[in-house]
Structure 1
Amino acid sequence: MSYDQKIVDRVARDLREKIGAMAVLVTKVEHDHQVILGGEGLAIPPEIAAHMPLDLSICQHVKAMDFPLLIEDVMTHPLLTNQPMIRTLGIMSYLGAPYRCERGKPLGALCVLERSRRTWTDEDLATVVAAAKELDGLFDPE
């Protein structure tokens, strides 16, 4: 897949600064794994970033629903009760929004991560959704 890494990095960096988050990731969700295309604030080993199992993915739910997802506490959220591996990442709060290819199909998510519980605001949600729209059309599905 070809895309402009500078745009991905800028969107992640700007979003992290605007929202004051621990980390921001841009992910592409495949049928059996997730790829981390870029981000800020979280060091992920390259072998995991290139092929992250879906049992470590919250972004898969954003892509499947094609709708933003706000989770204040991953330990209690019903979508994640069957994904105990999420806890191993040390992530407590999540806010993600889908981005789409030129044809409008969701490809993955732009997400914000926190290691502590965070109550997301309407402004946080609007900021993440707007940042995800900056990624729309940047990637072609393969």
Structure 2
Amino acid sequence: MTVVQDFITLELLAKRLRDELGSMAVVIAELDGASFDLHAMVGFKLPERFPRANIPIPYAISTHVVEMNYPLQIDDANSHPLIPNHPAVRELGIGAYLGAPMHRPDGTAFGTVAALHRHRRSWQKEDLFLVEGTARKAEEILNRQGASADD
């Protein structure tokens, strides 16, 4: 597959997950220093002040997923103790979050697949399975891209 085909595949994965979950948005992003590089984002538009295709770390709830290397479920972003007064909640209007890490072949977390909702939402176990399954598919594509770039 080419990088363009992979990009289209990641966009389709994000759209399918958003539709299956009935969520506001889905983001597939990779941690890169001071920001998350967006590989796919459907259902949400970043403010113009953000660099193109990047989410600055202070606005990325997904940072916690990569650091913990574990899925994160937030049903009510306004009251969750991990993200009190978080800019993504205050300024971007995120009300609920469900994210799973993507991994390199060595098991290191390098990014996330995350579903976002504008309002409080009680995520179900099946929702997490869908997000984790999409993360496995996305990491396979991104790891293949990384291996191709190393050749």
TM-score normalised per structure 2: 0.83
Per the TM alignment, residue 11 of structure 1 is displaced from its structure 2 partner at its CA by 0.8
Identity score, percent:
33
Please identify, of 57-66 and 27-36, the stretch whose mean Cα deviation from structure 2 is larger.
27-36
More relative contact order, 1 or 2 (CA 8 Å, 6+ apart)? 1
Asked whether the 8 Å contact 2:61–2:88 carries over to 1, the reply is no
For 2:127, the aligned partner's letter is: D
| Aligned match for 2:58, one of 55, 59, 67 | 55
Bigger Rg over Cα: 2
Q: Distance in 2 between matches of 1:114 and 1:87?
A: 14
Q: What is aligned with 1:11? A: 13
| Aligned match for 2:38, one of 36, 39, 43 | 36
For 1:83, the aligned partner's letter is: H
Per the TM alignment, residue 83 of structure 1 is displaced from its structure 2 partner at its CA by 2.9
| Aligned match for 2:26, one of 4, 24, 27 | 24
Q: How does 1:1-142 map to 2 (within 5 A)?
A: 3=3, 4-45=6-47, 47-81=50-84, 83-84=86-87, 86-139=89-142, 140=146
What are structure 1's unaligned runs of at least 5 residues? none
Instruction: Write out per-residue CA displacement over residues 104-140 of structure 1, whole angstroms, 9 at most, x where no aligned residue.
Output: 3211110000001000001111111111111123223
TM-score normalised per structure 1: 0.88
Other structure's SS at 1:43 match: coil
Q: Distance in 1 between matches of 2:23 and 2:54?
A: 24
Flag the 1:5–1:95 CA change in 2: closer, same or farther, 3 A. same
Asked whether the 8 Å contact 2:89–2:95 carries over to 1, the reply is no
Aligned residues: 141
Q: Alpha carbon RMSD of aligned pairs, Å?
A: 2.2
Other structure's SS at 2:115 match: strand
What are structure 2's unaligned runs of at least 5 residues? none
Q: Distance in 2 between matches of 1:60 and 1:91?
A: 15
Asked whether the 8 Å contact 2:93–2:118 carries over to 1, the reply is yes
Flag the 1:35–1:86 CA change in 2: closer, same or farther, 3 A. farther
Q: Distance in 2 between matches of 1:19 and 1:76?
A: 22
For 2:136, the aligned partner's letter is: K
For 2:90, the aligned partner's letter is: R
